[in-house]
Amino acid sequence: MNRPRDVQGIGARRAALKLLDAVLRRGETLDQAAATATAGLPTTSDIALARAIASEALRWLTDLDVLIDSATRQRLADDAKARTVLRIMVAQWLRLGTPPHAVVATALPLLAGGPRRLAHGVFGALVRRPAALPPTPTLPAAVADRWGERAEAIAAGLAEPPALDLTLRDPTETDAWAERLGGTSLAAGHLRLARGTAISDLPGYADGAWWVQDLAASLPARLLGAGEGRRVLDLCAAPGGKALQLAAAGWQVTAVDTSNRRLDRLRENLTRTGLTAEIVVADVLEWEPGNTFDAILLDAPCTATGTARRHPDVLHRIGPRQIAEMADLQARLLHRASAWLNPHGRLVYAVCSIERGEGEEQVAQVPLSLDPIRTEELPAGLSPAPKGWLRTDPGMLRDQGGLDGFFIARFRQI
């Protein structure tokens, strides 16, 4: 018989357990925790499996706990290791299609010296019913309260990880690339491909014909239009998708971000696409540009709750404290950026957050005039709010694959 550490697949499950612990107990993001949690796994497939298990457990956490509690006489503590292992077990079975015998063989060794019989019994009871998850994940109560009347629709949009979205360097080639890659398009310059596509193997990658970017994330730069050689400042620019869009649209781009490491992605993509931009490594709260700009794009740091489709950890890490901290930072960035705009210049403010404190409540603090977004500027199926800003969320365009949650507002210097 194999010893527990020799059973194939245990390593990925152990890594998934570490990922869940990092998110739920220490408040880390999945991305922050991944390097440490998956260290030592032998293949990229093992790493991907660990991430998939943890992501699905977080996506369906509330519903997994309901099932677990329905099969226990005494409720397990929220932070009990047995509960976390059971979350992993049920998520694999009901979300990843892992056969129950394989679930048991690879998960119970994680409880060596602990309540293995309890976990085995609870999982066996659920399999015998058989148990099932609802069609839509149940949001944590605090999250549902914050998201209000859109909470149910947003939750429905979180049921599956997103497809792969691409932004094309040349929007006039949209139809040609859609045919070549077998994708669909929701807007000029956008392509959507099936999830799981190997990016670097696709035609056009090596030639820099496109880059990966969610449809919603592409909207802020689109709202600045054609550059025609004018100067644009891209603040908090890393990893650089919007800077690439602006350069492709004919803007002279100055891209600023505090993270030199994250700007490496932009440098690589500029080389790959043949586009150009000036890159500045600096803290926007301390940096002085020395001149003003015809346009400014501020994609501000935020809680990123709008990315819950691909980062379900945000459902469990983000609360009022984090939202307030981000809103304060965003207000300070907006105040500084507003002073760097030329007369009649335009500023686009964007955050990939569903929280009102980071979106609608920021508008009144901007010392510029609101420049209303028009329906004809947006992909079909999207429309601005009556006051002229745009709010997207994962519940929108669901029949076409959905999109991330963003708040976007455009302003003009008088």
In this chain, the answer to whether the domains covering 4-128 and 215-412 adopt an identical fold is no
Domain ranges of the chain: 4-128, 215-412
- Which residues are identified as catalytic? 352
* pLDDT of 365: 87
Q: Closest by alpha carbon to 312, among 133, 115, 154, 76?
A: 154
Residue range 13-19: mean pLDDT, rounded: 97
* pLDDT of 8: 78
Class of domain 215-412: alpha beta
Tokens of 12: 């990925």
Which value, to the nearest 10 degrees, does the dihedral of the CA atoms of residues 138, 143, 148, 152 take? Answer: -20
CATH fold, domain 4-128, is N-utilizing Substance Protein B Homolog; Chain A (1.10.940)
- pLDDT above 60 for 253: yes
**What SS3 state is found at 250?**
coil
The order of strands in the sheet holding 164-168 is 190-193, 164-168, 210-212
Residue range 365-391: mean pLDDT, rounded: 97
Could you read off the pLDDT of 314-342 as tens digits, one per residue? 999 999 999 999 999 999 999 999 999 99
Could you read off the pLDDT of 98-149 as tens digits, one per residue? 999 999 999 999 998 889 999 999 999 999 999 999 999 999 999 999 999 9
Dihedral angle sign, alpha carbons of residues 102, 107, 113, 115: negative
Before 379, cis peptide (omega within 30)? no
Question: In the structure, what pLDDT confidence band is assigned to residue 1 with cuts at 50, 70 and 90?
Answer: very low
The H or E element that residue 279 is part of is strand 278-281
Task: Output b/e per residue, 214-233; b: 16+ Cβ within 10 A.
Answer: bbbbbbbbbbbeebeebbbb
- pLDDT above 60 for 5: no
* pLDDT of 121: 97
The pTM for the full model equals 0.94
**What SS3 state is found at 170?**
coil
